[in-house]
Amino acid sequence: MSAVLEAAPVVVAAAPPAAPPVIALDGVHLTYRARRGTVPALQDVGLEARPGEFIAVVGPSGCGKSTLLKLVSGLLLPTAGTVRVKGKAVTAPTPEVGIVFQSPLLMPWRSVLENVLLPIEIRGLGVARHEKAARDLIKLVGLAGFEDRAPYELSGGMQQRVGLCRALVHDPEILLMDEPFGALDAMTREQMNSELQRIWMERRKTVLLITHSIAEAVYLADRVVVMSPRPGRIVGEVAIDLPRPRSLEMTESVAFAQAANRVRRLLGTT
């Protein structure tokens, strides 16, 4: 009698668990109280960002994009729902977050280096221990040799680079950016987008970028999240499957145009 050989069982390795979100918003509502009543700003917003992910948020003016950043940073608390950073509920400003505003908001009487080190002074972390990190960041953004210059000696793009260094100097895990390049001319804005991509690829922070520019969002982000008019809701998102590093020439490609058009359709502009 011939022996019957049994097939060896196939063992399928379990997929590695997804990293827990660094940012998690669940059922978030925010209502402002005004003299004439209440103004709903955000409605039932849910959003997650994984470690090292670059997310861009687009939407019409007044839809609550900046409010979203204030909630993540702890500058505002939600009316309802939860906001968590690294698994902990956000109840106050957190050192896990660095913020870059539309205006660099530099202190005119302080040098570039002193402006970058300002968050270190405020947090009482020891300026001497962080000066090398500050100088390294200044070099990283292409401003080596400008450490002792005053803000008025810098162009708008250079000032915004200082603002970016200031947001990163305490090495936060999350970088929040509120229309950081909106006030710059088109050429400088393109240069800053390229610089931001380079810095992100080197530092791998989790980034939440607010922008009105669809092209900027597609160029920079892993995902583009689209919001509705006020009260702001997330109406959809577009995964950007374009190789990195992304070049400015790539913005003329068919794949780039298709991604941008998907964002436009969600915005209802086509």
Strand partners, 256: none
Query: Residues 29-35: what's their mean pLDDT?
Result: 88
Name which residue leads in pLDDT, 43 or 10. 43
Contact 240, 250 (CB under 8 A): no
pLDDT greater than 90 at residue 26: yes
Of 93, 101, 87, nearest to 50 by C-alpha is 87
Percent of the chain whose pLDDT exceeds 90: 76
Rounded CA gap, 119 and 172, in Å?
Answer: 11
User: If you average pLDDT over residues 154-158, what whole number do you get?
Assistant: 92
152-156, 180-184, 223-227, 229-233: least confidently modelled range: 180-184
**Alpha-carbon distances, residue 256 vs 12, 109, 185, 210, 229 (angstroms):** 37, 43, 22, 19, 25
Dihedral pair phi/psi, residue 107, rounded to 5°: -75, 120
DSSP 64: S
Confidence band (pLDDT; 50, 70, 90) for 151?
very high
Most confident of 33-37, 123-127, 165-169: 165-169
Provide the percentage of residues in the chain whose pLDDT is more than 70. Answer: 93
Condensed to tens digits (0 to 9), the pLDDT of residues 206-217 reads 999 999 999 999
Residue 29 pLDDT level (bands cut at 50, 70, 90): very high
Choosing among 3.40.50.300, 3.30.70.20, 3.40.50.720, 1.10.10.10, the CATH entry for 19-96+173-270 is 3.40.50.300
What is the model's pLDDT at position 1?
A: 46
What is the end-to-end Cα distance of the chain in Å, rounded?
74
pLDDT score at 229: 93
Whether 270 shows a pLDDT value over 50: the answer reads no
pTM above 0.85, yes or no: yes
- What is the predicted pLDDT for the residue at 269? 60
How is the chain split into domains, by residue range? 19-96+173-270, 104-171
Residue 15: per-residue pLDDT: 43
- Ranges assigned E (strand) in 59-160: 80-85, 88-89, 97-100
Q: What is the mean pLDDT of the chain?
A: 90
Return the pLDDT at 35: 81
- For position 126, what pLDDT does the model report? 87
Q: What is the pLDDT of residue 13?
A: 46
Considering only residues 186 and 26, tell me which one the structure prediction assigns the higher pLDDT. 26
Residue 254 has a pLDDT of: 97
